[in-house]
Amino acid sequence: MSRKKQGGMELDGSLWFQKDEQKFLGGDRIALLKSIDEVGSITKAAKAVGISYKNAWDLVNMINNLADQPLVERVTGGKGGGGTTLTGYGKEVVRQYGVLQEEHRKFLENLEVRLGDTQSLYQLLRRISMKVSARNVLAGTVTKITKGAVNSEVALSLTGGGAPLIAVVTNAAVENLALKEGASAYAIIKASSVMVGSDLHDAKISARNVMCGTVAKIIEGPVSTEVDVEVGGGNTISAVITHGSSQNLGLKVGGHACTLFKASSVILGVS
């Protein structure tokens, strides 16, 4: 949101919702949610806000992963053949954002009167905006830290419940991030680091993290295939596997699948 001042100077600021001190909802994502609510289709909503279908799904998965409860849900069957819609909670979040946006506009107008040259403030707000390229960003709370000689094993209880996520990071990282039991943190996992299998509940494997659920989306490519698996609690794990592996596993939307990734593949972050 920006306010033009006489002489070409501009005051600019970003309004975000935060969860556990982590930014996860801003104007661009609210616009996508509003469009989904209006048209009932993520394909049409993505086109309306000017982003790709794939990017729209990535944003929706991230929003649901970081929220206390899902903001977007998939609707199957029915006369229209199904679609995508906002939950009651999602509608309320959009409404609340509208109220905050109006108050934010009034704040900027008042600030223009009190401030002189706002160029330095504009540049600061631009610099502190950060986006993460990794596909999977999951919010949670540190439940246990086991320190070794060099590395530490950190257990993270994800928002929405389920099995704890395990990360192995250096002791220096634990200190630099000020990690401790009860602290809020988020786990970042590249989609390329996630493997996909089936019927792995009782399998003996070395990977510490095994999260099973329902296949929500499959994007087939000539070489690679992207697979999104809803693992419960509103959390979705995205994986990029080979096209051949996808075919051998017989993955289908609505079918069962398990995601697995090594503890050493998890990056931990804090706000």
* Torsion on CA atoms 40, 46, 52, 54, rounded to nearest 10: -40
What confidence score (pLDDT) does residue 183 get? 93
Give CB contacts under 8 A, 24+ apart, made by 112-117.
112/3, 112/5, 112/11, 115/11, 117/9
β partners of residue 237? 229
Contact by Cβ (8 Å): 187, 137: yes
β partners of residue 72? 86
What confidence score (pLDDT) does residue 146 get? 96
Give residue 260's identity as a one-letter amino acid code: L
CA separation for the pair 214, 65 (Å, rounded): 15
What confidence score (pLDDT) does residue 17 get? 66
Which residue segments constitute the domains of the chain, with CATH numbers given?
16-115 (1.10.10.10), 126-270 (2.40.50.100)
Angle at 23 between CA 107 and CA 9, to 5 degrees: 40
Name the phi and psi angles at 85, rounded to 5: -145, 165
Residues 6 or more apart whose CB falls under 8 angstroms from that of 97 comprise: 15, 17, 25, 30
What confidence score (pLDDT) does residue 62 get? 87
Q: Give me the residue label for tokens 């960003």.
A: 137
Give CB contacts under 8 A, 24+ apart, made by 39-45.
40/75, 40/80, 40/83, 40/84, 40/85, 41/83, 41/84, 42/83, 42/84, 45/84
Q: What is the CA radius of gyration of the chain?
A: 21
CA separation for the pair 214, 67 (Å, rounded): 19
How is residue 240 written in tokens? 């990029």
CA separation for the pair 58, 102 (Å, rounded): 28
pLDDT tens for the chain, 271 residues long, are: 444 444 444 556 667 766 666 666 788 889 999 999 999 999 999 999 999 999 999 989 988 888 888 899 987 654 544 688 999 999 998 998 888 888 877 777 776 667 666 565 555 444 344 455 678 988 899 999 999 999 999 999 998 777 789 999 999 999 999 999 999 898 999 999 999 998 776 777 888 899 999 999 999 988 999 999 999 888 999 999 999 999 999 999 999 999 999 999 999 988 7
Count how many residues are written for the chain: 271
Closest CA to 165 of 82, 79, 232, 81: 232
- pTM of the entire structure? 0.62
CA separation for the pair 55, 122 (Å, rounded): 27
β partners of residue 157? 141
